[in-house]
Chains A and B, each alone.
Chain A
Amino acid sequence: MRRVVRSVVVLLLGLALLGLPDPARQPIRLSLVRVETAKAVDFEQGIVWVLVLGSDAPDGTDVMDGRADAIQLVGIDFDQGAAVAVGVPRDLWVETPGEGFDRINAGLRSGGPEQMARSVRRLVGVAPDFVLTTGFDGFEDMVDSIGPLTVRSTRAFEDPEEDLTVRRGLNSMDGQDALGFARARVALPRGDFDRSANHQQLLRAALRRLRAREDVEGFVERGVFAAISGLDTELSPADLYRLAQALTTIDLTRLTACVLPGTPGVESGAQVLYPDVTLSRRVGNDIRGDAELDRGCSP
């Protein structure tokens, strides 16, 4: 009989911590910011909440100069091994106190990661402990550094804009393919909702890849050493190490995910999505205590 024990359990930051960003580049390509809360995070117990943002800032510029093209609230329960990802559509029309209404994705440029954290907290009712922000080139490099990802797609599609052909089922993707898959939207029947679900498939694939490499001697240590130089963060090397080690022990069978719904509308001539605030709060209440989705994001 063979039995497996896992004590520390976590999520997606693996891409950031175990990928190998180029530390020589000057613009911030990858940022991990601790959000001011009254909660202490020791990366060993309790739940850590990470808001993962994909910035649309052009290559070579600071990721904070873009909008949050991808938004995922990720929770990891260190005690139980459960993990959850809640996708937030970028076009949700939300109010920022003192600034009025705007698409939620505009908050990155106007108020930085902290404002994005506040917007998601107001919507879902769960306060992120950290915000991880990456841009296009940083994401591509990170995927290439951990190796090709095996990504499951729920449908076959082609996206000429991304020069991408995806088949239904499993697809092997390098960094460029993965970035195209993450950005593809027009070819998807439900647009941003499907795209957000694809981000969660990328997350699963990355975690699967990390698990596959966890036993390679020095894999975690080399990744964290590179991250110490290449990642813009206030976390100590010891905390980064704890977090990265925890990522490699995530049990994928305990990862649940869904994407928040929204109702299409038009504001100032632009298409937006009106959030279902009640449902969003219900999802937040569902996941807050155990980082597990019991009811999903459907009404």
Chain B
Amino acid sequence: MAVGLGVMLVAGCADSSPSEPPATAAPVALEVEVASCAGRVGQEERIALEGDVGDVLSAYVVDGFLGDYPRQGFVRAFDSFTGAAAASAARDIDLLTASRFARSSSVRATRLQARISCLADDRGDLVGATAQVAFDFQARGGDTGTQPFGLRGRYMLVREGGEWAVFGYDVARDDSGGSG
């Protein structure tokens, strides 16, 4: 099952110049699919997991890559990270967000896919999950012209106190436009 989350994952365009066509492409939905689970995880829990992890990833994508450009404040993308992971991510902010395109006129998502592997304990309670992601974006304007870029890899999440949080990541950033 795949869930397309109903968030507007397309950038606004605060001050695009006449020579730069506005980002009018249809919004790209984040597709989240639970690919596998270890332990007894029922269908309802899988659906809830897709929604919960989808919410975490959506917030990360919106705050880290989209929004109104030119923009600042990319560090908000790590609000759903654990403290230690957020501190680490802040050091890697240029790789984990679109901060290097802060002066662009727009950034839009062209592909947002996540496949989830989850872990339940021996009572069937969800403990952790891996989100294998394929995110592609396109930045316009600013210093770089039109620039596609992408992110591939894993975000690792745990559920503590009922909330999902990213505690680690292992991702590769490709700013060459060659992601595929």
Contacts and interface: CB of A to CB of B under 8 A. Distances in A.
B176 to A, nearest CB: 6
Contact of A221 (B88, B130, B175): B130
User: By DSSP majority rule, is chain A's interface helix, strand, loop, or mixed?
Assistant: mixed
A228 B83 CA distance: 26
User: By DSSP majority rule, is chain B's interface helix, strand, loop, or mixed?
Assistant: strand
Interface in B67-114: 82-85, 87-89, 92, 95-96
Nearest to A218: B36
Nearest to B129: A221
B130 A5 contact: no
B168 to A, nearest CB: 4
A288 to B, nearest CB: 20
A225 B84 CA distance: 25
B8 interface: no
Contacts of B154: 214-215
A44 B82 contact: yes
Interface in A129-182: none
A8 B167 contact: yes
Interface string B135-174: 0000000000000000000101011100000011111111
Contacts, number: 120
B119 interface: yes
A2 B180 CA distance: 12
B22 to A, nearest CB: 28
Contacts of A3: 95, 172-174
A7 B127 contact: no
B38 A6 contact: no
A242 interface: yes
A215 B130 CA distance: 10
B174 A2 contact: yes
Most buried by A among B37, B127, B158: B127
Interface in A25-84: 42-45, 78-79
A224 B168 contact: no
B38 A225 contact: yes
Contacts of B159: 238
A253 B175 CA distance: 25
B122 A245 contact: no
A79 B90 CA distance: 13
B176 A1 contact: yes
Contact of B170 (A5, A79, A228): A5
Interface in A198-226: 214-215, 217-222, 224-225
Given A228-B122, A238-B127, A242-B158, 4 more contacts: A5-B171, A221-B38, A238-B159, A241-B127
Interface of A: 1-8, 42-45, 78-79, 214-215, 217-222, 224-225, 228-229, 237-238, 241-242, 245-246, 248-249
14 contacts: A3-B95, A3-B173, A4-B170, A4-B171, A5-B96, A7-B169, A43-B167, A217-B115, A221-B36, A221-B117, A224-B128, A241-B158, A245-B167, A249-B168
